[in-house]
A and B are shown apart, each in its own frame.
Chain A
């Protein structure tokens, strides 16, 4: 057949430059009539066709030489083997796209085909027009692995090339250096980039459905954001048809997402809290304004004492409150809101007289951010914020710095993915629509506005409160790394109590989860009676944050004062926090919402301002 002339081009590409001409199709159908018609139709499309009436034969052919075919078309009903079974086997063993064929067009059957992994489902009699476009499935498979890498960076810079694994890798390397993200995810991402790019492997397209993503998040939480490496995640998830590379790229995206969430969330939270509503538009508001507004509105904010410690503590307390609110709003509505919280926190920081600039940079900022929804945290903590934050925070600085530094490294990852720069919060104050962009912008703003930075400072230092709210996000933050996580977790968990787990202590997600729940519950309260809880939180938060911060430090509020926020494991903090405020309740509540948020995030839903839109999450 003439179609063969081009086949030699690409071994797997089926047609080299003139693809889809010469695409090698294996057609399986027990009905000779249908098979013949199909064969003819496929030849008309200039594909190279091989036919067989038996599934067993088809499998044998496929197994003999995996590169022999580009696409398989199979009937659903066959005597020797169920078409779905064949579909599964081909997908698993050979990673080839499979198209199902049947005279039966019932939804159930079609659904079954799709869930078993079919790329397409055609009804008999098959039309020529339909067959003319089936080659798209081959292309999709080939480009899928790379695409996911690209997406997860969410950074054009990083994966803009898509196919350019090398470039990506370089970028990631540099980022990584800054971030010091020890997460293997990066490596795997790089690897996957590289693999994807260099080998043009055909990998089955993994669609990150809600269910799948939940499993992923659960696995990540279980491992701890900084310990969550793709391999382990993969093992924990225990899902077939997913490769480590898939997980790696997804993890990368997730981290970015978390970062953004935390930033946005804090901001949004503030806004929301202040405005009592959920409105993505708020994100545009000046965080400071929002924060102030929020403060005023709730009157919970006390002027932050100038003392560093106290400031921090107070701030945290305040932040907790707003963050709680913010978180609530955010968590329930959007992670973005958290960023508001952060903004507000930033404001308080201002009050504190903290050096905004410092704040911004300080890792605190990151923490603040995280408070928002953990995203911001993630973002900030990505190291970008962390670094500066440390500096800005006074008492905390030293400890924070260390912590932050760590955070930076860990968070840098996510952060760098955004900004690809050293800790610097461009726009922390701003909650951009895309969480990815939000991060860098946020970071910058922080520097500029100082609001965020303040917020972050607060967060980092003592402000674990916001973190608590972020705890919810903390789950998301997983990627951030322990430090961030702990911070986030603390934030999230307490929602109010800013549990700043400066300590890079592995931010166990369990705790974060708890915190998340607590946060949730906190959030839940916020609307209704969070005010009530807030005061408590506040009180606690001052205490809690400290404790949280201390993590291990006897949870004494003093720890915050000392600016040592959490030399101890976050876990402790979180737990403590939970205890304190009943955050556990919140967290639980929060975790629930977090899931929703996550789901929302992955949904092409614009409530979050396209929170995850940039990422090419495949949400199915």
Chain B
């Protein structure tokens, strides 16, 4: 079961990897999953998706103001950067790095622009993650 799940996940992961959406960190996550924690990957990427959405919401809200608190914004971006790095969401991570640069420069425009990019890449990866999870779940149910 775990193997099956993994296979499908791996298939998904492989495609995401090849498109550059994910990096080898995700592979490591997959390897970390074992019997003692069979849902590790699923839980982790779920957390990532939820947290990421929340972060993007916060960022949107804060950048919407005229007077932007760049430190706060940077803190959120930094958090997302860490999370994305941990799951291997490469594009998200790189976008966050760009985002942080703009925060340093205190460029609202730059930040807004990057936020848009961030939104795009984030939903792209989170969408794929959700599909993956769904697939795994279906597999799990199918093998029951």
Contacts and interface: CB of A to CB of B under 8 A. Distances in A.
Partners in one complex: yes
Interface of A: 1, 29-34, 36-38, 40-41, 43-44, 75, 77, 79, 102-104, 124-128
Given A32-B51, A79-B75, A103-B78, A40 B37 contact: yes
A31 B51 contact: yes
Interface of B: 25, 28-29, 32, 36-37, 40, 43-44, 47-48, 51, 75, 78-83, 85-88, 93
Given A33-B47, A77-B75, A79-B75, 19 more contacts: A29-B82, A31-B79, A31-B86, A33-B51, A34-B85, A36-B43, A37-B29, A37-B32, A37-B44, A40-B37, A40-B40, A41-B32, A43-B36, A77-B82, A103-B82, A103-B85, A104-B78, A124-B81, A125-B86
B87 A33 contact: yes
A31 B32 contact: no
A103 B95 CA distance: 13
A533 B81 CA distance: 67
A30 B75 CA distance: 11
Contacts of A30: 79
Nearest to B80: A31
B99 to A, nearest CB: 12
B85 A77 contact: no
Contacts of B75: 77, 79
A77 B76 CA distance: 9
A280 B128 CA distance: 69
A43 B35 CA distance: 12
14 contacts: A30-B79, A31-B86, A33-B51, A33-B87, A34-B83, A36-B43, A36-B47, A40-B37, A40-B40, A43-B37, A44-B32, A102-B82, A103-B85, A124-B86
Contacts of A33: 44, 47-48, 51, 82-83, 86-87
B78 A125 contact: no
Contacts, number: 70
Contact of A77 (B32, B36, B79, B93): B79
B81 A103 contact: yes
A102 B82 CA distance: 7
Contacts of B79: 30-31, 77
A34 B32 contact: no
Which of A32, A36, A124, A126 has the largest count of B CB atoms less than 10 A from its CB? A36
Nearest to B25: A125
Contacts of A1: 36
Nearest to A32: B47
The 8 A-B pairs at the shortest CB distance, nearest first, are namely A33-B83, A103-B82, A33-B48, A37-B86, A125-B85, A103-B81, A124-B85, A125-B86
A125 B51 contact: no
Contact of B82 (A43, A124, A128): A124
Contacts of B93: 103
Which of A33, A102, A125 has the largest count of B CB atoms less than 10 A from its CB? A33
Which of A44, A103, A124 has the largest count of B CB atoms less than 10 A from its CB? A103
Contacts of A102: 82
Given A34-B82, A77-B79, A103-B78, A125 B44 contact: no
A486 B36 CA distance: 70
B50 to A, nearest CB: 8
Nearest to B34: A44
Given A41-B32, A125-B25, A125-B86, A77 B78 contact: yes
A572 to B, nearest CB: 61
A41 B75 CA distance: 25
A102 B85 CA distance: 10
Contacts of A128: 28, 32
Contacts of A124: 81-82, 85-86
A40 to B, nearest CB: 5
Nearest to A36: B44
B44 A31 contact: no
A219 to B, nearest CB: 40
A126 B37 contact: no
A577 B116 CA distance: 77
A215 to B, nearest CB: 35
A53 to B, nearest CB: 11
Which of A41, A44, A125 has the largest count of B CB atoms less than 10 A from its CB? A125
Contacts of A40: 32, 37, 40, 44
